[in-house]
Each structure stands twice: as C-alpha cells, then as structure tokens.
Structure 1
Amino acid sequence: MGLSSHHTNCPHHWGRPYKRRTFVGFESRYNCCDGDLQSSGCALATTHVSQNYNPNKLMGYVRTLPKDTKNNPGVYALDCEMCYTTNGCELTRITVVNPECGIVYEQLVKPDNPIIDYNTRFSGITESDMSDVHTTITDVQASLLTRFSDKTILIGHSLESDLHALKIIHDTVVDTSVVFPHKMGPPCKRALRNLASEYLKRIIQNDGR
C-alpha cells in the first residue's frame, strides 16, 4: 500500500452498499448516507486505504495450547480495534472481558507499520492515543496465551477478524454474527451496532463514541 507521495482530499463512502426492497425490486444504497452506487463520496480523507492480500502477513501466527484440564478454561468476550497502515489493517487495541463484564485485559498496540488512517469513526482511537504506545502484537500474544487455553471459550462478533488481527489460531468460539444470522443468509452479517440497539438498547459505533 505505502505512504502517499502527496496529500489531497479523497472523497469516499465510509459505509458499505446494502440492498433494499423497492416497488420495482431491489436497489443498492450506501449505508453511510443512503446514496446510490453512482453518488459522490459523502466524506473526505487525506489518504486512501484499501484491503490487500500480502502473503507475508501470514507469518507470526500462534495457536492456543492445552493446559491443566482440572482448571476452568474460562469464558471471555473479546474485541479488537484495527487501523489502516502501509501494510493494510493492523491491531491497535485489544479488550477482553469476563462474564461479569469486568475488564481482564485491555491494551493499546503499536502496529508493525506506519499508520495512515486511525479508523477513529469506528475505533475511537486517535493519533494522540497512540503517541506513546510501545506494546507490540508479540507482547499481546504472549499475554493472551498465558491466560487462554485451547479450551477457553471466546465470544465476539465476526471473531475471524479479531483473531486475524491478533494472529491467533483458536477453535472454541461463540460468534454472535452466527448466533444472530442475517435474514439474507451468508455472506451477509448483521451489524454489531444493530444487535446492540435491538437486544441491549445501547448505541455503539456512533462516530467514535
């Protein structure tokens, strides 16, 4: 991806296209501004980001390991925040909570590559938050492998994204995107903010708040 050689305003839609029913069938709209797919971008940024496949990103994965079965393996909810770097999406924060909603681990994480977009709209993380962060993904992996075993139950929404960001392989999961499926079926998924609003009566992911 790399750094921009010069900074200009990049018009874009930060939301994703979705289909809605009309009198004549279905039409596609962006969920950020309800614009059609030919509409001009509704937001401006000084950089352009994209998802890219880089086989080198497959390096550095670790797997949760068996531990003493006499101990309770534990149940935890897990959520990660990512930013865009010169090498695509990378981890910037990890939060783990127990069944009593107590935070058992929370850490800002310094990406391996320069950050070009902090994704503040969704993550709430700003440049100033990351200015004095030195913890690496390797440090986080070491901490989590100490806490988790291969039998620990991890709960989250679209957990594959979080585990990819953490570069951790773990099989025992409960994924709310599967528990609460989209009415149109895979690969469509219900947004976490909609599930939170419907079932918890809470507003989340609202411009970084």
Structure 2
Amino acid sequence: MFKHDDYFSRINCPKNNCQLINCIFKHPERDTVPDTLKSSSEPSSNVKRKIENDLPEPKKVHNEGFKPVHHVKIPSNDRLKNIKSIESIHKLDNTSSQQKEFELAIKSNSLKEYYSNMSVYLNIESDPQFITPKQLNISSPATLQVRKSNIENIYELIKLTEPNLKTPKLKAINEEYKIATTTSKFTYMPNIKRKIHELKNPEKYKIKTKELTNDDYYNELLKLVIPKDKLVKYGYIMDVPTPITPSEERKCRRCGKEFKLSDQLLPIHCQFHAGKAIKRDRKRVYECCGDVLGDNESEPCTSYNYHVFYWDNPGEMQSFLPFKITSDVFTRNENALKAIGIDCEMGFTTKGFELLRITAVDFFTGEEVLDVLVKPIGEVIDLNSRWSGIESIKDEALEFNESIKLLNDIMDSETVLIGHGLENDLNSMRLIHNRIVDTAILYPPHKTSPTFRYSLKMLVFNYLGKKIQTGQHDSGEDALGAIDIVKYFIKKDQTSILSK
C-alpha cells in the first residue's frame, strides 16, 4: 500500500471543486481542524476533546437543512451556506429559503451550473471561466456551436468598448441569451448581426430621447387594446354565459382523481406535482422536483389532505357567481383613472377557485391605488399560499361585492386594464371588460399563441433586466411589471420612429 506520510496533505489540491472524500491533498475550504492539531497518527482523547470544544456549534436548520437531490452531487456545506445566504439577502424565512435553494438545485444539470444559478440569484456576479450558452427552456433558434461563436464575437467587442467591465463574458452570454429567447430560427441571426453592428457603432445607436407625456403614452396605449375576437381566441369570456347547473362529480385539479362535491371536506391523500412540466434535455420534466413527465415509477413530490377543483366551463361559473359587463354595472366616474395595471390572487374553496385579493397600480405614476383582501364565499380548502402569498383570511377582508364596488371607485368601463394573463383575474372578479392590454398576448411581438405564452418573469428579465417573483408573491410587483413592459415597448416604438 502506498504511504504518503502526510506529505501531500500539506499541498493544495490541484483539481478545482474536488469532490473526493478521502483525497490525499489539502483542501483549505473544507478543513475544519487547525494544521497544528493534525497528525499522521490518531489524536489522543484530550486533543480530540480540545478540537471538538474549539469547533463552533453547528447551526440547526429546519428539516435537516435541505431536501435531497440525486441527479447532481452538491456538497452539503455549500447547500446549507446558500440557504443561509438566501435567507439573509432576500429576507425569506428558513422554509422558503430551503424551497428556493431546492428549486435552483433541481434546475441545475451540473455542479458548475448550480454555482452559477446560485450566484445569479444572490447577485454575486463573477465572470465565468469558459463561454457557454445558457440553456433554453424553449426550442433553440440555433445550434450550440453557432450560439457559442456569436457569444465569442460579442465578448470581443464588449472588451473593446467597455474595457473596465469586470464581467465581459457574463454580459456577452446574457446579451445572446436575450436574443435567443425572443427570436425564432429565422430572426435569430439578423438580431445577432444587429447587436454586433450596435457594439461596433455605438454612436449610431444612441437613443434619441423624447420625453413622452401622459397623453403620448395614453394615445399609444389605446392602439394596443386587443380586439374582442382575439381576446376570445385567447380564452377570455366576452359575453355573459348561459348558466349550467354544476355536476356533483368533479375531477381534482391537482391529482386528476374524481370525487363528489359533498365529500370535498373529507380528508384524503392527494398526491401531485406542484410545479409545471418544462422542457429540459429533450425531455419534459416537472420544475418542482425534476421528475420526468409520464414516469410512473416515481411518486409525485407533493401531497395535500383535500382535493381541489375549477368550474369546468363558463356556464358553471355563471351558475355559482354571475358575470357582469363593466359598461352595464360600473357607473361613469369623473375620478376614474384612464389606465391601471391589475393583478388578482385566488385560492381553492368548496366553491371552486375564488378571488382573495385585488391590487391595482396607476399606469402613469406607478403608485398603488387599490389593494384589498376579499373573503371567499365558499369554505377555504387551500389558500394557495405559495403562489398567492396569502397565509390567512384576515378580519379586514371585504365581502366580494364590496371589493368590486371599491374597484369601481378608481375605474369605469373606459379605463384600460393592463396585466399578464388577465382572463384569470377577470374571471375571478366575474367582470367582462372591453379595454384590455394583455402582455401575455402582445409580447414578444408575433411569438405568442392561444397555446403558448411567455411568463411575466421572463419578459421582465429579458426586456427590463430585472428580476421579479424571487421571494413571496407580490401582486403589486406583478401589476407594475406588466405596466413597465408596456411602457418599454411604447417608448421603443417611439424611438424607432424618431430614428427613421
């Protein structure tokens, strides 16, 4: 047997991110025992006791610190440290921090990708050693080789134009990623060439600024109002439905099993995947745990004590709580705002998926003008807290009709409503409105369809360079995010007109 006599233990390991448990080289980042106390022989009991007493008391983390992941080997100490960093930087509780760290771990296909994802989330940006295109959740508009070559070209130009930038590779990767996620295979290369031309000729691309007035914004906003027939194609209810008596037999929205409405409050074991199915490595996997869609050997990662449901069609929704057209029921209001961003939160009750909160933001000022909690009509089954951000029904919550009346104080039938996927919000409020600007339908231009839409989180990141929805859900943040996207495109269009 080869004996190293502790010689190599004094030499730093030449391999980066070495994962060998019994590696013969020195690893300063994970050595916990002082060098002066190390010995090639077994330490005495007194020395052991001294070491144990000198070491800091390990911090206890709820539920052993983290959920296990099996597809990537990540050092436990790093995962615990990152959970604490998330808790400190993003002001989350320990449970939410664990869940966020787990989501990032599940989405990572390698240890390097895990560290990169964590650095981005914690805003600890450093330039990567190698240029590697970011993974796409959509069909790639170009091959990896082409994408990498484009990043390298962008990188060389950024080094020339921004010599003091500490992260030129990272910026080049992000610039290419924005283009790759917002173009098709036909428009990808033209947009890359435009970006390269812009970097070579920055003076030509200096924005000709024009301060848009509120009237300018409003006139452009009216041009973006989506026609009724298009809204119908995207799932909006634009006419009052004929009531249909709901069936007693329902299908659970989560696990798909059938149950009776009269039995909904009887505890059961409902197993399901909390996250959506996304495309990764040519497979469709659940973003919550990484399980492959259709894999019958593994059990769903989440469970609940009750089944939940949506009404199956507009007629059933109308039977429970009638729809109303704003032009019929909202009185004309001199103080009504011309345009507002709106976002609602919903939860599951014995009466379906009910309204729990309405938040509205003034389009022009960005100020929150309404934020009310709403008492559901049915008995609460699940407040959907992970997505709604609502932990309980508070005493100050309003009755449903009171909340809609309060909404009429700030808007009327002429007000333009801005939001992302507004059909769900209007359904929960049982309102039919004709002046809609939906960012999920409009952006990216010409790339959405009734069966495919980009998330608001992706739009805000790609076009505004901001991160939203990183912690507990904030409906005001979502309403403002949709407003900012609309303003971005209005200003971009106006700048384009000026430059011609």
Normalised to the residue count of structure 2, the TM-score between the two structures is 0.37
Match of 1:154 in 2: 417
1:5, 1:61 → 2: CA distance?
27
Q: 1:72 to 1:79 in 2, by over 3 A?
A: closer
Count matched residues.
202
Alignment of 1:88-127 (within 5 A): 88-99=352-363, 100-127=365-392
* Amino acid in the other structure paired with 2:439: T
CA deviation after TM superposition for structure 1 residue 151, in Å: 1.6
* Amino acid in the other structure paired with 1:17: A
1:144, 1:189 → 2: CA distance?
28
Contact 2:345–2:356 under 8 Å retained in 1: yes
* Amino acid in the other structure paired with 1:11: Q
Match of 2:287 in 1: 31
2:305, 2:449 → 1: CA distance?
36
CA deviation after TM superposition for structure 1 residue 121, in Å: 0.4
SS at match of 1:164: helix
Match of 1:189 in 2: 453
Contact 1:141–1:168 under 8 Å retained in 2: no
Q: 1:184 to 1:135 in 2, by over 3 A?
A: closer
Alignment of 1:26-175 (within 5 A): 27-37=283-293, 38=295, 39-53=298-312, 55-58=315-318, 59-65=321-327, 67=332, 74-99=338-363, 100-127=365-392, 130-175=393-438
Contact 1:76–1:96 under 8 Å retained in 2: yes
SS at match of 1:113: coil
Normalised to the residue count of structure 1, the TM-score between the two structures is 0.83
2:340, 2:271 → 1: CA distance?
39
CA deviation after TM superposition for structure 1 residue 31, in Å: 2.5
Q: 1:177 to 1:2 in 2, by over 3 A?
A: farther
96-105 vs 184-193, which moves further: 184-193
SS at match of 2:409: helix
**Which whole-Å deviations, capped at 9, do the CAs of 1:22-45 have from their partners, x for residues lacking one?**
2xxxx3222322211224211222
- Aligned alpha-carbon RMSD (Å): 2.7
SS at match of 2:274: coil
SS at match of 1:147: coil
Alignment of 1:189-208 (within 5 A): 189-198=453-462, 199-204=464-469, 206=471, 208=473
Q: 1:14 to 1:204 in 2, by over 3 A?
A: same
Q: Greater RCO between the two (CA within 8 Å, min separation 6)? A: 1
Q: 1:3 to 1:143 in 2, by over 3 A?
A: farther
Gaps of 5+ in 2: 1-260, 475-500
**Which whole-Å deviations, capped at 9, do the CAs of 1:52-83 have from their partners, x for residues lacking one?**
32634214322223737x87751100000000
* Amino acid in the other structure paired with 1:103: E
* Amino acid in the other structure paired with 2:402: D
Q: 1:2 to 1:104 in 2, by over 3 A?
A: farther
Q: 1:206 to 1:189 in 2, by over 3 A?
A: farther
**Which whole-Å deviations, capped at 9, do the CAs of 1:88-110 have from their partners, x for residues lacking one?**
10000000011222111110000
2:346, 2:317 → 1: CA distance?
15
Gaps of 5+ in 1: none
* Amino acid in the other structure paired with 2:288: C
SS at match of 1:171: coil
Greater per-residue helix proportion: 2
Greater per-residue strand proportion: 1
1:45, 1:194 → 2: CA distance?
29
